[in-house]
């Protein structure tokens, strides 16, 4: 930007290429106001933007969720007879899909075709992702048929979206058959495909079936990752099958896959819910020893377990520790601690914590605040 200003001050008028470089750099630096100013400066100086200049700004704005502003600038550029490439249309379509405005996205898709720019795989995948997230499977299947009729072959991402939609609509058998028949026939199955179906089976209470699919995944040489193991370990722990969870954890380590914060937190949470607080604490300490810094979710999982086991003093020590380690308490942390303190009738400390909570801008859950107020009234009545 400094070089740009020096050029102008020395009477060297920047051209469209210079403006494009500046706009692109500002967008990558998240300086969107300055990027728009550079765009407006270019227009004011009578320099006609081209497709690349427009793409730099539109892609940047849409990537940051500023799709309405991107659309407005695009309409202005269109009036200036700028011809757009597929990249600009795709950025707008993706942006509108992400904000739930499918009609606007579809209108842009129709317009781009009318304007001589054919939708590509990226265009269709953006819309397909929206349909499958919203479980609009009829529309998703029609879109895939349209893709194929236009000579655009769906890729593994396309099929994974359909797989996700089937799983989200609880059509587990259909999802499984879709993966092992259609996707396998096209050679378009990957770890995302397997993880999607494995997770759906686990959520549907079919953990053993999920495990069989996991074994099939190994036999076929499809890469296993931490996500795969996390899904299964969580499911087995939830069922109380700690031996299977431990077996998977050992297997994972044998493959040189290290548990991440999400997996550690999952294990801690499941152990706490089954009242295995000592084991959960051990896992928590192991996470720290492995150099993984617990976040607020990790702390909340252990604090929850301690409070429910009437070990609020230990939970309060964790509350102090987490702040020293830079993990800031959230609304859930305060709700758990105040609820635990009320249960143990430590009302003075509960009130102090409530004050700290309000100072941080959090609001106490209605149920917990009602319990605290009632406990204070009962204590006052008993002291009279």
Tell me which H or E stretch contains 35. Answer: helix 32-44
Buried b (16+ CB within 10 A) or exposed e, 336-367: bbbbbbbeeebbebbeebbeebeeeebebbee
Distance between CA 326 and CA 329 in Å, rounded?
9
Q: Are residues 303 and 380 in the same domain?
A: no
Answer whether residue 156 is part of any domain. Answer: no
Number of Cβ atoms within 10 Å of the Cβ of 110: 10
Is residue 226 within 8 A of residue 252, CB to CB? The reply is: yes
- Answer with the one of 56, 85, 119 that is the final residue of a domain: 119
Q: Are residues 293 and 335 in the same domain?
A: no
Q: Which residue has the higher pLDDT, 207 or 365?
A: 207
Number of Cβ atoms within 10 Å of the Cβ of 83: 13
- Answer with the one of 281, 303, 328 that is the final residue of a domain: 328
Q: Are residues 57 and 86 in the same domain?
A: yes
Angle between helices 32-44 and 67-79 (to 10 degrees): 10
Write down the pLDDT at residue 201.
95
Please tell me whether residue 65 adopts helix, strand or coil conformation.
Answer: coil
Tell me the two tokens of residue 195.
Answer: 């993880």
Q: Which residue has the higher pLDDT, 10 or 375?
A: 375
Q: pLDDT tens digits, residue range 25-63? A: 888 888 888 888 888 888 887 888 888 888 888 989 998
Q: How high does pLDDT run on average in the chain?
A: 87
Counted domains in the chain: 3
Specify the residue for token string 């941080």. 360
Distance between CA 381 and CA 384 in Å, rounded?
5
Write down the pLDDT at residue 20.
86
Instruction: Please state the rounded mean pLDDT for residues 76-94.
Output: 85
CA neighbor of 268 nearest in space, from 291, 244, 295, 228:
295
- Answer with the one of 88, 119, 150 that is the final residue of a domain: 119
User: Residue 280 belongs to a domain with what CATH number?
Assistant: 1.25.40.10
Buried b (16+ CB within 10 A) or exposed e, 172-181: beebbebbee
Domain assignment of residue 320, given as a range: 258-328
Q: pLDDT tens digits, residue range 213-228? A: 999 888 888 888 899 9
Answer whether residue 167 is part of any domain. Answer: no
Write down the pLDDT at residue 116.
87
pTM for the model stands at 0.78
Instruction: Please state the rounded mean pLDDT for residues 181-197.
Output: 89
């Amino acid at each position: 930007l400094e070089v740009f200003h020096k050029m102008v001050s020395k009477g060297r008028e920047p051209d469209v290429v210079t403006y494009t470089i500046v706009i692109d750099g500002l967008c990558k630096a998240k300086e969107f106001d300055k990027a728009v100013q550079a765009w407006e400066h270019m227009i004011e100086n009578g320099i006609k933007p081209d497709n690349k200049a427009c793409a730099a700004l539109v892609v940047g704005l849409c990537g940051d969720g500023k799709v309405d502003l991107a659309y407005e600038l695009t309409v202005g550029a269109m009036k200036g007879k700028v011809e757009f490439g597929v990249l600009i249309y795709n950025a707008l379509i993706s942006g509108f899909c992400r904000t739930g405005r499918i009609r606007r996205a579809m209108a842009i898709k129709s317009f781009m075709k009318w304007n001589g720019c054919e939708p590509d795989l990226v265009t269709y995948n953006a819309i397909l992702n929206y349909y499958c997230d919203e479980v609009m499977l009829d529309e998703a299947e029609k879109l895939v048929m349209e893709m194929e009729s236009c000579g655009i072959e769906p890729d593994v991402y396309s099929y994974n979206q359909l797989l996700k939609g089937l799983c989200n609509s609880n059509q587990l058998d259909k999802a499984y058959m879709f993966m092992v028949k259609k996707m396998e026939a096209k050679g378009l199955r990957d770890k995302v495909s397997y993880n999607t179906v494995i997770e759906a089976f686990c959520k549907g209470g079919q953990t053993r079936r999920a495990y069989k699919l996991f074994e099939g995944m190994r036999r076929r040489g499809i890469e296993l990752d931490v996500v795969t193991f996390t899904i299964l370990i969580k499911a087995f722990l939830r069922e109380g099958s700690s031996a299977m969870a431990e077996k998977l954890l050992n297997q994972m380590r044998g493959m040189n896959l290290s548990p991440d914060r999400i997996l550690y937190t999952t294990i801690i949470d499941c152990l706490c819910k089954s009242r295995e607080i000592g084991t959960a604490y051990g896992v928590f300490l192991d996470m720290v020893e492995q150099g993984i810094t617990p976040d607020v979710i990790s702390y909340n999982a252990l604090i929850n377990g301690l409070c429910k086991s009437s070990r609020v003093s230990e939970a309060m020590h964790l509350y102090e520790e987490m702040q020293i380690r830079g993990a800031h308490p959230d609304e859930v942390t305060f709700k758990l601690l105040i609820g635990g303190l009320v249960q143990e009738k430590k009302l003075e400390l509960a009130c102090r914590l409530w004050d700290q909570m309000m100072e941080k801008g959090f609001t106490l859950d209605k149920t917990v605040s009602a319990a605290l107020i009632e406990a204070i009234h009962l204590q006052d009545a008993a002291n009279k």
